[in-house]
Amino acid sequence: MGYYDVAQVCLNGHVINDNYISSPEFNQKFCDKCGAETITDCPKCKTPIRGDYHVDGVVAIGHQYTPPSYCYNCGNAFPWLQTALESAQELLDIDESINDSDKALLINSMKEISKDTPKTEVNALKIKKIAKKLGSDTYDAFIKIAVDVGTEIAKKSLLGS
Ligand SMILES: [Zn+2]
Ligand SMILES: [Zn+2]
């Protein structure tokens, strides 16, 4: 049997320490990349954010921790997902090459790919298709956000050719 450590993540989603309990020497009150405050629990229900998974006698090497998008206890979206969705919306707001209904579709799909559901892959494909109508700068930035917020399945479809 193993157990989860607690993760310390800044409000913008930078992982500060995924072993908050077992390696407290790496804890920081603020993020050294963006200056935002750091949190270790869900702002809504105060459940600790799951960090590294420890298995007795096993040392995980080279494992890359990504912070969760949603709280497993209350379903609340973490602040970094909200911020990413807001940035995506701002990007679309300044792009004049696509219409409002395509923009709404893109934002909706962006939300869907942050969750692992039967619709994840379809929405990743929608993003790939519709985002092509964006200006090329906006396209690159939008896909980058999508890859950041997307689940593993979504990342694969977004990056696949
Ligand atoms: Zn940060
Ligand atoms: Zn919660």
Per-residue model confidence as pLDDT tens digits over 88-143: 999 999 999 999 999 999 999 999 999 999 999 999 999 999 999 999 999 999 99
Centre of ligand 2 to C-alpha 29, Å, is 20
The per-residue pLDDT for 55 is: 86
Tell me, yes or no, whether 89 and 145 share the same domain: yes
- State the Cα–Cα distance between residues 125 and 131, nearest whole angstrom: 10
Tell me, yes or no, whether 90 and 154 share the same domain: yes
Which residues line ion ligand 2, judged by CB < 5 Å?
42, 44-45, 47, 71, 73-74, 76
Helix or strand holding residue 86 (H, E): helix 79-94
Structure confidence by residue, pLDDT tens digits, 131-149: 999 999 999 999 999 999 9
Centre of ligand 2 to C-alpha 48, Å, is 8
Tell me, yes or no, whether 107 and 40 share the same domain: no
Which ligand sits nearest to residue 83's alpha carbon? 1
- 67, part of any domain: no
Amino acid identity of residue 148, one-letter, is: D
Helix (H, G, I), strand (E, B) or coil at 21: coil
- State the Cα–Cα distance between residues 140 and 3, nearest whole angstrom: 38
Tell me, yes or no, whether 86 and 136 share the same domain: yes
Structure tokens at 14: 């930078």
Amino acid identity of residue 92, one-letter, is: L
Domain that holds residue 130: 80-159
Tell me, yes or no, whether 38 and 109 share the same domain: no
In the beta sheet, which residues pair with residue 58?
55
Distances (CA, A) of 66 to 41, 93, 104, 137: 15, 28, 27, 26
Centre of ligand 1 to C-alpha 4, Å, is 22
Q: Structurally, how many domains does the chain consist of?
A: 2
Structure tokens at 104: 């709404």
Tell me, yes or no, whether 40 and 103 share the same domain: no
Which ligand sits nearest to residue 8's alpha carbon? 1
Task: Indicate the residue among 55, 70, 96 that finishes a domain.
Answer: 55
